[in-house]
Amino acid sequence: MGEIIAVKTAGHYKLSTAGELLHAPNRVTAKGVVLDAKAPAAKTAVDGWQWFDSREAAVKALGYVEPVTDDMICLRTGCPDRITR
């Protein structure tokens, strides 16, 4: 039986102008902005970057919609984990 691996998704998130969800788990350094996950100000939004405790929280708060890709689409019956058309 395989082991369960916990993936930590906390970090700074930003919705880019192209609609991509950007993630920086430890540190953001850009245009004179430095945000560190350990700093008290990590929860403050700066230059569009905001701290979230999980990816799910960032997706919800930022209104991000996951793109549907071809590998997610199933054209046959019996695909419970995939999107069908």
Per-residue pLDDT of 12-45, as tens digits, reads 999 999 999 999 988 888 778 888 887 756 666 7
What distance in Å separates the CA atoms of residue 24 and residue 74, rounded to the nearest whole number? 32
Give the per-residue pLDDT at 63: 93
Hunting for tokens 């970090």 — which residue is that? 11
Give the per-residue pLDDT at 84: 47
Closest CA to 36 of 8, 12, 15, 61: 12
Q: What angle do CA 15, 81, 9 make, to 5 degrees?
A: 35
β-pairing, 83-84 with 27-30?
Answer: unpaired
pTM of the model: 0.69
Share the mean pLDDT of the chain: 80
Q: Are 42 and 51 in contact (CB under 8 A)?
A: yes
| CB contact set of 42 (below 8 Å; sequence gap of 6+) | 12, 35, 36, 51
